[in-house]
Amino acid sequence: MHVVKEQSIIQSSHTDLYQYKCYVKDQPVCTSAQASYWYLRGNEVGCFSGDGSVFTGFEVCVEIFGYTPEKRTSTYSRGTDLPYINGCSSKNLIPPTRAGDPTWQMLNIPPNCQEQEHHIHSTARIVYVAEGSGLSIVGTPHTFVKHKLNKGDVLILPKMEPHHFKSYSDGLVVIPLHVFSSSENEFNHPMYNGTHRI
C-alpha cells in the first residue's frame, strides 16, 4: 500500500489481471488509443478513451490499459445516497456499464468513526481523500500499519490488501476508483462454497 502526498507515478504489479498506471498530482499524461483515463479534477470525476493528446490539470489520473469507454463525467459535491458497512454511506459517481468495468465511487465515513470492519477487495483501489482526515489501517491484526490521511492524499490499495478506515472529528470523504468492479460471482467458486464455518 502507498499513501502518496506528492507528484508520483505508480504502476500495477505485473501479476495483476488489470494493468494500470496512476499519475498523482498534476503532470502531463500522453494518452494512448489502447487505454482509458480515469481522473479527478476539483469536484469532478471522469473517464475518457485516449487519442494521443496530452492530458493535464488533475489531482489523480489512472490509465487503465485495454479498456476504452465513452467519455463520462460526474461530480461529488451533493453527498451520498446509498448505505455502506458500519454506518458509512456511499454513492455511485460513474457506475460500471457492465459487471467488472471500472467505477468511480464516493465513501462518506462519519466523524469519529472507529468501527469500520477490516476487509479486502479482490482488485486494486485508487483512493483520493476529498475531505476530512483519519487513518488507513492496513495488514493483519499482528502486523497493522497505520497511515494518517489528509485532504489531497492518494491511497493505492493493491488487490487483497486487508484494510479499514477510521475518521477524526471532521469525518472522512474518500473517492475510490475500482480498477475492476467486484460482483457477486466472486463468492460463487468451489473454495468459498465448500468452506463451512463452524
Quick count: other Cβ atoms within 10 Å of Cβ 162? 17
Q: Is 171:111 a contact under the CB 8 Å cutoff?
A: yes
Cell of 99: 459487471
What domains does the chain contain, in order, with CATH numbers?
A: 2-74 (no CATH), 78-181 (2.60.120.10)
Residue 48: the pLDDT is: 97
Low-confidence ranges of the chain (pLDDT < 70): 1, 197-198
Residue 130: the pLDDT is: 96
Give the tens place of pLDDT for each residue, 55-113: 999 999 999 999 899 999 999 988 898 988 888 999 999 999 888 899 999 999 999 99
Residue 197: the pLDDT is: 67
